[in-house]
Copies of this chain bind each other. A is one copy, B any other.
Amino acid sequence: MNALGQTIKGFRVLLLWGLFSVAAAGSGYAARAKYVFLFIGDGMGAVQVAATESYRAAIQLGDEVPGSTKMVKLNMSGLPALGMITTFAHNRLITGSAAAGTALACGKKTAVGVVSMDPSGKVPYRTLAEAAKSRGMKVGIISSVSIDHATPAVFYTQQPDRKNYYEIAMALSASGFDFFAGGGFLHPTGKSGDRPSAIDTARKRGYRVATGREEIGALSAGAPVLARNRSWMKKKALFYALDKPSDHLSLGEFTKKGIELLDNPDGFFMVVESGKIDWASQARDAATVMSEVAAFDDAVGEALTFYREHPEETLIVVTGDHESGGMTLGAAGGVFETHLELLQKQSMSYARFSGMLAERLKKGISFTEAMDSAREVFGLALLGEAERMRLVEAAKNGDREAADRLLLSLEPFEIRKITEAWNMSLLPGNRRPGSREVFLKYGKYDPFTVTLARVLSAKVGIGWTTFNHTAVPVPVYAGGAGSDSFNGYYDNTDLALKIAGVMGVSLN
């Protein structure tokens, strides 16, 4: 081909590209995506992600390569497009999961507690999942908390109150959506346990109810599915990744199975919620937060694997519904220092620790025994003066383990705080003072456990400001078809409209 030919061929490419771009500009979206993933980290703000990135860097890179990056990107944060969304509810700056989920599912604001209806709880909103279904796409909804919880529910039902758990459970199978997985139902037979079972109803409506790794593994494409582990922890949620029994499916494994079952020529819309980043953030348990973020990110990894096979037709969007805990990457006592790698010592979640402690309290555990557990589980220790001196010497001689133990040793004022909390833990919940001062210290958590988690956070350089949600804007990470449109700073309602745009559906 001569130079002119090359030029002409080049022009033709440009021309096609130009036309394509203009067409895209017309609809506002660069491409229609046939396979759409929406990942929602409940309570996940930019800091929950950045802390996990820093933790990975601290573990993987250590102190030996200070010139290297100090944050290791995750699957989600490595996606090319970045947005940031405001999350306020119709009636409150700091939102709740129902209002935030409604915004993400329907592109409209509502009041706190309302599921995909207007603030009065009278007018239903149309959801992305419904719109996708009516366009012939398959729909999957996965959550690590109960599947009737606000965040999954906003996609498949409209309810004036998120606490209508039975109505929500019944609505689930009425939706006809193709794949539900993760947690259980809070009130499968109603609040009083006297209503027809939502699970039996699902079966009657044609759902295959698969329980446990073997049954789920055996599923192939066909009738709609309700897939669950053999047991759940409290509140019908999946176990924390840090505590997960090995025979339980992880969020990533549910996602992988969902992709396998939903994959079809007409496309699918899949929502994956990690619901317990929120819970662990509210409890100020940094190690559990990061382990949940990592498990969530593994689920994003499954979508990325699928994306690589269908790069032109797949959209992946990852966001949070709001931030929780007021997490930051810097604590007063540490001044400019952080030691995130020390969180590796933590061997279970605050929740499991609290549960075990409650059992042992019934049997009359002593403070010394409790502190032994604190050392085992969180690495926090009371040191005798002789031991401290020995560790100081060893650390001077480059003993890293000794240095770590010193960093995790408790100072007198920390011991005082922990002792105070211990005395409060000894009181039955209903005999604890309900004052604002006590709430400021412990929230609604076991005082001893939450104090250990806070002390550990402060020592490694992570700060917290609340036991609830915050109004901090949260990040959006996006990749694949149409992902450019997710760049920028906008509202959570706009995010739903953008997804609708790329999916080619309407929310009206």
Q: Are A465 and B328 in contact (CB under 8 A)?
A: yes
Residue A487 at the B interface, CB < 8 A? yes
Contact of A436 among B18, B19, B413 (CB under 8 A): B413
Q: Are B465 and A332 in contact (CB under 8 A)?
A: yes
Residue A358 at the B interface, CB < 8 A? no
Q: Are A336 and B94 in contact (CB under 8 A)?
A: yes
- Chain A residues 76 to 125 lying within 8 A of chain B, measured CB to CB, are 77, 80-84, 86, 88, 90-94, 96, 109, 112, 119
Contact of A466 among B47, B109, B330 (CB under 8 A): B330
Q: Are B333 and A440 in contact (CB under 8 A)?
A: yes
- Distance of A486 from chain B, by nearest CB (Å): 9
Residue A420 at the B interface, CB < 8 A? no
Contact of A86 among B50, B328, B340, B436 (CB under 8 A): B50
**Binary contact readout A461-474 vs B (1 if CB under 8 angstroms, 0 otherwise):** 10111111111110
- A335–B58 Cα distance when bound, in Å, is 33
- A468–B329 Cα distance when bound, in Å, is 11
Q: Are B464 and A465 in contact (CB under 8 A)?
A: yes
Closest B residue to A336 by beta carbon equals B94
Residue A394 at the B interface, CB < 8 A? no
Q: Are B70 and A88 in contact (CB under 8 A)?
A: yes
Contact of A46 among B71, B81, B84, B93 (CB under 8 A): B84
List residues of chain B with CB within 8 A of the CB of A196: none
**Binary contact readout A323-359 vs B (1 if CB under 8 angstroms, 0 otherwise):** 1001111111111111010000000000000000000
Residue A434 at the B interface, CB < 8 A? no
Q: Are B488 and A81 in contact (CB under 8 A)?
A: yes
- Distance of A387 from chain B, by nearest CB (Å): 20
- A436–B92 Cα distance when bound, in Å, is 37
**Binary contact readout A58-86 vs B (1 if CB under 8 angstroms, 0 otherwise):** 10000000110111010001001111101
Contact of A328 among B80, B83, B90, B466 (CB under 8 A): B466
Tell me which of A9-17, A206-214, A260-268 binds B.
A9-17
Given contacts A54-B471, A331-B465, contact A96 B440 (CB under 8 A): no
Residue A247 at the B interface, CB < 8 A? no
- Chain A residues 294 to 334 lying within 8 A of chain B, measured CB to CB, are 323, 326-334
List residues of chain B with CB within 8 A of the CB of A11: 15
- Distance of A450 from chain B, by nearest CB (Å): 11
Residue A22 at the B interface, CB < 8 A? yes
- Distance of A48 from chain B, by nearest CB (Å): 11
- A18–B7 Cα distance when bound, in Å, is 13
Q: Are A437 and B413 in contact (CB under 8 A)?
A: yes
Given contacts A14-B19, A93-B338, A436-B411, contact A330 B487 (CB under 8 A): no
List residues of chain B with CB within 8 A of the CB of A323: 328, 330
Residue A475 at the B interface, CB < 8 A? yes
Residue A491 at the B interface, CB < 8 A? yes
List residues of chain B with CB within 8 A of the CB of A14: 14-15, 18-19, 22
Closest B residue to A443 by beta carbon equals B332
Residue A435 at the B interface, CB < 8 A? yes
Residue A232 at the B interface, CB < 8 A? no
Residue A367 at the B interface, CB < 8 A? no
- Distance of A186 from chain B, by nearest CB (Å): 22
Contact of A80 among B46, B69, B488 (CB under 8 A): B488
- Chain A residues 376 to 407 lying within 8 A of chain B, measured CB to CB, are none
List residues of chain B with CB within 8 A of the CB of A422: none
What are 11 A-to-B residue pairs whose CB atoms are below 8 Å?
A: A14-B18, A14-B19, A46-B473, A69-B491, A92-B337, A326-B330, A326-B331, A330-B468, A332-B465, A463-B465, A477-B489
Listed in ascending order, the chain A residues whose CB lies under 8 Å from chain B are: 11, 14-15, 17-19, 21-22, 46-47, 50, 53-54, 57-58, 66-67, 69-71, 73, 77, 80-84, 86, 88, 90-94, 96, 109, 112, 119, 323, 326-338, 340, 411, 413, 435-437, 439-440, 443, 461, 463-473, 475, 477, 487-489, 491
Further pairs besides A46-B84, A463-B464: 5, Cβ < 8 Å: A14-B18, A70-B86, A94-B336, A330-B466, A338-B471
